[in-house]
Amino acid sequence: MKNQTDNDWWKDIFDDIYLLTDARSVCNEELTRLEVDFLQTLDMDTSSPILDMCGGQGRHSLELSRRGFAKVTVLDYSKYLIGLGGKKAKREGLNTVFVQGDARNSGLPGQSFQFCLIMASSFGYFMNEEENKKILVEASRLLMYRGTLLLDLPDRDYVLQNFKPFSTHEVDEDITVSRERELGDDIIYSRERVISAQKGCLRDSTYCTRLYTPEKILDLLYSVGFSSITCRKGFMSRVAEGDYGCMTNRMIVIAKKDKKHSL
């Protein structure tokens, strides 16, 4: 399966079908509100400029905007998700800004944000670790001095202890999602098949997610100039609810941009 996974798999997979396959997490309004409740414990002022990096359709950013945060920007590569979020913001009269772009080289002006959020296991999509590192370098460039980066990652220990080579769940009466998984070098390679009883195969694709120990992600963050790094396991644990893949049990990592090593 590793040989079947294109390193650019993420360019095409985040579309309308993705919102079906991952609806249990990325379209769960109650979960989103709970996650934003946690974000508000980070002492974010409603006037703080916030970047939701790899933010998809902006579910966290839209909720922050609903709560009075005035300067929230979503960056994502998916033109479909960015368009969807922008339309929703317009319908609700929210001032959330949506930008389509690559998180490794966003084109946004440097030192523009007090907070940079990478939520919902949206970090670690590259097999080549240097490409993942570029996202952290870009986050550092975009953050103000002593700005805060928050990473929401799969809990590696939990994933490995509960690794399942195969899983399936029903989206509705028509659509079933099945996933085959292989594990190698702290990367999970997955083949996802989405089958409609009425229309047949809607998707058959492969993708990967890198797993990090607290020690490894700390080393990576230190290497690009972050400091005051803390890790918290058990973030939004959904163990009691069932198998949600890498979203079942997660780890939060919070770091500050160190001016002495800003990039």
* pLDDT greater than 60 at residue 261: no
Residue 74 and residue 63: Cα distance in Å, rounded?
A: 12
Exposed/middle/buried for 3, CB within 10 Å: 0-12, 13-18, 19+? exposed
Supply φ then ψ for residue 255, to 5 degrees: -140, 155
* pLDDT greater than 50 at residue 128: yes
Q: What is the pTM of this model?
A: 0.93
* pLDDT greater than 60 at residue 262: no
pLDDT, mean of residues 133-160: 96
- For 10-154+213-261, CATH number out of 3.40.50.300, 3.40.50.150, 3.30.70.380, 3.40.720.10 equals 3.40.50.150
Q: Is 12 left (phi over 0), alpha (psi -120 to 50) or beta?
A: alpha
Residue 180 and residue 201: Cα distance in Å, rounded?
A: 16
pLDDT, mean of residues 147-171: 94
Residue 137 and residue 80: Cα distance in Å, rounded?
A: 26
Strands of the sheet with 166-170, listed across from one edge: 166-170, 175-184, 187-196, 200-210
How does pLDDT run across 85-96, given as a tens digit for each residue?
999 999 999 999
* pLDDT greater than 80 at residue 107: yes
> Both tokens of residue 199?
């229309």
At residue 40, the pLDDT reads: 93
Confidence of residue 74 (pLDDT cuts 50, 70, 90): very high
How does pLDDT run across 1-27, given as a tens digit for each residue?
777 889 899 999 999 999 999 988 899
Supply φ then ψ for residue 13, to 5 degrees: -80, -20
Residue 148 and residue 42: Cα distance in Å, rounded?
A: 9
Domain spans, the chain? 10-154+213-261
3-state class (DSSP) for residue 131: helix
How does pLDDT run across 26-45, given as a tens digit for each residue?
999 999 999 999 999 998 99
